[in-house]
Amino acid sequence: MWEPEFLYEPLPIPDDHPELGLFSQELQSISEGLSGTSIPAALNERTGRESEAAFHPRVADEPLPARMLNEYVYCPRLFYYEHVDGVFLESADTERGSAIHKKVDKGRGDLPPPKAAQRGSKESQPAAVAAVALAPDTTPGKEPQPADIADADAAQEDMAADGSPKLETIHSRSATLGSERLGVLAKMDLIEVQMVTVAQDRSSWVPVTSFKDAQREASPSVTAPMPSPPSPPDDSPPLDTQSGTMCNLTKRTSKKSRPAADQPDLFAAAITPPPAAGTAIDAPCLPAPVAPTARLLHVELKQRVVHQVTPVDYKLGAPRRGEDGNEMWEADKMQLGLQILILRDNGYTCDEGVIYYRATKQRVPLAMTDELEGWIIGKIAEARQVAASRSIPPPLMNSPKCVRCSLAPVCLPDETRLLKRVTAPLLPDSPDRSADKRLSTMPPPRRLMAPRDDERALYLNTQGARVTLRGEVVVVKEQDSVLGEFRLKDLSHVALFGNIQITTQTVQMLCEAEIPVAYFSMGGWFYGLTRGHGLKNVYTRIEQFQSAQDPHRCLALAQRFIHGKIRNHRTQLMRNHVNLPDGVSLKMKRAAGDVLAARSLGELLGMEGAAAAMYFQNFAGMIKVGADDDELPGLEPVKKADRPDFTFDFTKRARRPPTDPVNALLSLAYSLLAKDCTLAALAVGFDPYIGFFHQPRHGRPALALDLMEEFRPLIAESAVLTALNNRMINPGHFVRAGEAVNLTVHGRKAFFQAYEQRMSSLVTHPIFDYKASYRRVLELQARMLARYLTSEIPEYVPMMTR
Ligand code: SF4
């Protein structure tokens, strides 16, 4: 039998491992589901909408963080993205908020246990104080020392003027507490804790060798008044006049060796009944004789206990202007109310909480009422239902909340709402134009994101280079010289071409920062990529797998991808061809319309091939540069004699291998676009290998290839034409290797610039009517595809420029 081999000794899994029950339960149900049925069928069964909560028991049962419930009240869709999908994006607001909370969290203060838990608990011991009364000294000629009287005065200061115990406030920071009743966890910024000193209900006489001993035994701080020395009570144990100790004194172990439960219990001696006359005392119980100067002290134990707690939460903004002046926002009410309830459930007395609004420097209090508690419990139940559901809640309608929401670029609230209301096809060749009319009556979506990313792709092309890490900076070296340094926060992804080494530490850090690393051959073949865990949510992927098994859905999606591509090819020719032959535009328009009526994927493939052939027959008409225009600024001019005999003539598409410079450029451009479409698919939560038009094949990112269809002319072929026509590329940038033609290192570098320029250039979105970079639009289309697959919108509309 095959045995697994371990390169290390596997650690035993403890029986009480929290995941163990879950795994065994999941594995058992999966194996039961698989017996006698196919994997998708078992998956479908398990994902049936009636058993939604059962499908994802962890999300449904695990404690909800109070911060997530705050998000739920702000917007249920935001809660779903953050809690279920695990999506989080930084914005200026979130970064400022984190900075403030870092400040608030600085300097920790432990939260003392509640009153009920303090008696006898280990934690309560340091709070115990002793009021020590000096008994009449049995040593002849001894008087109380001045130091003893000073200690007693200090104790007197802790009383209020009317003799009642004084309240003292301490602060606890960053305390995390949970409530089993509510199933909620909360990290509290600050808790104001009012402490009060109370007398314990027992007091007695114990012998100590000095006053200081008595204090040390109890607490370093004496907070109770010093009463006048009392007489020993009548029932006090008989004094051994020889040693000055009580006869019934039980053994006194040192503080260090004593078990926690026995921690200094000064009463132990006093409450033990004295031995009957003539009873033999066990030798080990006998105390060591104390010095003759020992005195008998009356010790009254007191404790500092928690009186009342008040959670204080810090918020960056300002309170809401309400009828009664400044009011708390609903989401803040939820978060603070939860903190109050959690503190109560942990045994503290807590009647109100406070939010400190930093913008206006105001404290706004919140009192707990039955009504508020009911509202909070209702919201928790609602949030649990949403978390267990497979459907994301709809976006808010034209809400000002979206403007400040950091997840607006992921959520796309206005775009989703707009496409949701358009139930007829938006395709230009569709006979039904009602959708266009309806669209024109709707307000255009707000662009709630920056038009382009601040982050940049890092392409590394220098053979033998090494990528290392210094702090949060990626350092690229060639032998001992540094080629460049790049801050992690400035990078969108890293693309490595050929023999470039990257250290494990760098890969780990890039994965943690969710910056993918893409690997290419020197010739530009896209091998794959490494990235972090990505999205937690599997529902989009499940919908993708289910749709990929449905031939009708596959065909409907494939028609749209190819329709978009042919329309964009036509626009490209009409815009850039120097002299487009008659009839080509019309034929391409017809071809785009015909694909919408294709009856099978096979038929569609044939139509797509015919349209592509027509496009590439006319591609040469868009190249407006001759092979003589070959000088590139900044590069050594290539001598005529050394220059290979390359031209930019183009007759047909040749892929494996590319046999001329234009085909070499097109192949590299498609590789880069496949990489970007794979990244966009992964960012949305798709599996890039399961496609609809491109059928699954080993190692082929089929979905990325589907997504790139409509973008081939818009990005890849446009970048090639720009690089050629703007003379960014010249014949000196190519080398021949047998039949194949490849770009040189300088040629690749020049083309990367042309490609990235195209990705960053702004385009007006034909439906949403705002400007965004092609990189943004690519991600936007991937998100719209996810909306279509999860039935949030009725149609997938390809990106088509006018
Ligand atoms: S953008 Fe608006 S709808 Fe979307 S998650 Fe944020 S607040 Fe909710």
- Take atom 2 of ligand 1 and give the residue whose Cα is closest: 402
Whether ligand 1 lies within 6 angstroms of the CB of 218 is answered as no
Q: 395: CA distance to ligand 1 center in Å?
A: 6
Specify the pLDDT at position 281: 36
The CATH number, out of the four listed (3.100.10.20, 3.30.450.40, 2.60.40.420, 1.10.4160.10), of the domain defined by the range 456-530 = 3.100.10.20
- Phi, psi for 561 (deg, rounded to 5): -60, -45
- Take atom 3 of ligand 1 and give the residue whose Cα is closest: 395
Neighbours of 713 (CB within 10 A): 23
Q: Among 399, 418, 783, which is best to mutate for testing ligand 1, by the most ligand atoms less than 8 A from CB?
A: 399
- Take atom 5 of ligand 1 and give the residue whose Cα is closest: 78
Residue 585, exposed/middle/buried by CB under 10 A (0-12, 13-18, 19+)?
middle
d(CA 179, CA 739): 71
- Give residue-wise pLDDT tens across range 1-28: 444 444 444 445 555 554 444 444 443 4
Q: 400: CA distance to ligand 1 center in Å?
A: 9
Whether ligand 1 lies within 6 angstroms of the CB of 77 is answered as yes
What does the DSSP 8-state code read for residue 712? I
CB 330 within 8 A of CB 72: no
Specify the pLDDT at position 336: 92
Buried b (16+ CB within 10 A) or exposed e, 643-677: eeebebebeebbeeebbbbbbbbbbbbbbbbbbbb
Whether ligand 1 lies within 6 angstroms of the CB of 408 is answered as yes
CB 710 within 8 A of CB 562: no
Domain(s) labelled CATH 1.20.120.920 in the chain stretch across 539-789
Domain(s) labelled CATH 3.100.10.20 in the chain stretch across 456-530
pLDDT < 70 positions in the chain: 1-61, 91-109, 115-166, 198-303, 324-325, 422-442, 451-452, 534-537, 626-644, 646, 698-699
Cβ-based neighbours of 730, under 8 Å, separated by 6 or more: 629, 630, 631, 632, 638
Assigned architecture for domain 539-789: Up-down Bundle (1.20)
CA-to-CA separations, 409 to 25, 576, 777, 779, 787, in angstroms, rounded? 38, 33, 11, 10, 14
First to last CA, the chain: 64
- Take atom 7 of ligand 1 and give the residue whose Cα is closest: 402
Q: 449: CA distance to ligand 1 center in Å?
A: 12
Specify the pLDDT at position 45: 38
Whether ligand 1 lies within 6 angstroms of the CB of 75 is answered as yes
- Give residue-wise pLDDT tens across range 141-167: 444 444 443 344 444 455 556 656 667
Specify the pLDDT at position 47: 34
Specify the pLDDT at position 649: 74
CB 647 within 8 A of CB 623: no
d(CA 333, CA 350): 15
Question: Among the residues of 106-173, which ranges form H helices?
Answer: 115-118, 146-156
Q: 416: CA distance to ligand 1 center in Å?
A: 11
Q: 77: CA distance to ligand 1 center in Å?
A: 6
Q: What is the DSSP string of 67-81?
A: HHHHHHHH-HHHHII
Whether ligand 1 lies within 6 angstroms of the CB of 729 is answered as no
Q: Which two tokens stand for residue 746?
A: 């300088």
For the annotated binding site for Mn(2+), the residues are 608, 694, 709
- Take atom 4 of ligand 1 and give the residue whose Cα is closest: 411
Q: 88: CA distance to ligand 1 center in Å?
A: 12
